[in-house]
Amino acid sequence: MAILTIRIYGDEVLRKKTKYVKTFDKKLEKLVHDMFETMYEYHGIGLAAPQVGILRKIVVVDTLEPDEKYVLINPKIVWQSEERDVLKEGCLSIPGVEGEVFRPESIRVKAQTVTGEELELAASGLLARCIQHEMDHLNGILFIDHLRESERATLARALQELAVA
């Protein structure tokens, strides 16, 4: 068990694309375990591998609702609703910054478990939002990229301060 170092906005690793996980071994299990520990330590509800400096397609989420704890390896969105909703998001890699993001309300995701088995799940509401936010990290996308121009402008200074810290 270990608490991993969370990479903060301005760190280039957060803008890189990730590679598929091909080896499902003890090392992966340990990493996933440590990602959960790290997420709980910082009171997050989701964490993606690039946030701890690892460029692999690995996401952990736990909204703390029953049956909403998942490990998603190599996840892919196979369906998304046309209906969108908007909610204020934050990110462990962008501390102190929040902004309203529009996203599809419901999704279906295919992924693999930590042991490599196929998994398909339907998610809506907070869980769907959390999964989409974390999956964005796998492509170097951050929630601030989705903000309206006006909102991004008001956050510019806070982001600048994080990036040079």
The answer to whether residue 60 forms part of the interface with Zn ion (CB under 5 A) is no
Residue closer to Zn ion by CB (options 35, 91) is 91
Task: Write down the least CB distance from residue 48 to Zn ion, Å.
Answer: 7
- 149 carries an active-site annotation: no
| DSSP sequence for 12-43 | GGGGS--BPP---SHHHHHHHHHHHHHHHHTT
Stretch that binds Zn ion, among 4-12, 62-70, 86-94, 110-118 (CB under 5 A): 86-94
Site string for Zn ion, 98-117 (x = CB under 5 A): --------------------
Task: Write down the least CB distance from residue 161 to Zn ion, Å.
Answer: 18
Residue nearest Zn ion, Cβ-based: 91
Say how far apart CA 104 and CA 5 lie, in whole Å: 31
Catalytic residue among 37, 65, 100, 134: 134
How many alpha carbons lie under 13 Å from residue 17 in its C-beta half-sphere? 2
Say how far apart CA 122 and CA 107 lie, in whole Å: 6
Say how far apart CA 149 and CA 141 lie, in whole Å: 16
Residue closer to Zn ion by CB (options 91, 131) is 91
The answer to whether residue 123 forms part of the interface with Zn ion (CB under 5 A) is no
The answer to whether residue 91 forms part of the interface with Zn ion (CB under 5 A) is yes
Alpha helix stretches (DSSP H) within 83-138: 125-137
Instruction: Report phi then psi at 137, rounded to 5.
Output: -60, -30
Task: Write down the least CB distance from residue 23 to Zn ion, Å.
Answer: 25
Task: Write down the least CB distance from residue 162 to Zn ion, Å.
Answer: 13
Say how far apart CA 5 and CA 17 lie, in whole Å: 19
Interface contacts to Zn ion, rule CB under 5 A: 91
Q: Which residues are catalytic?
A: 134
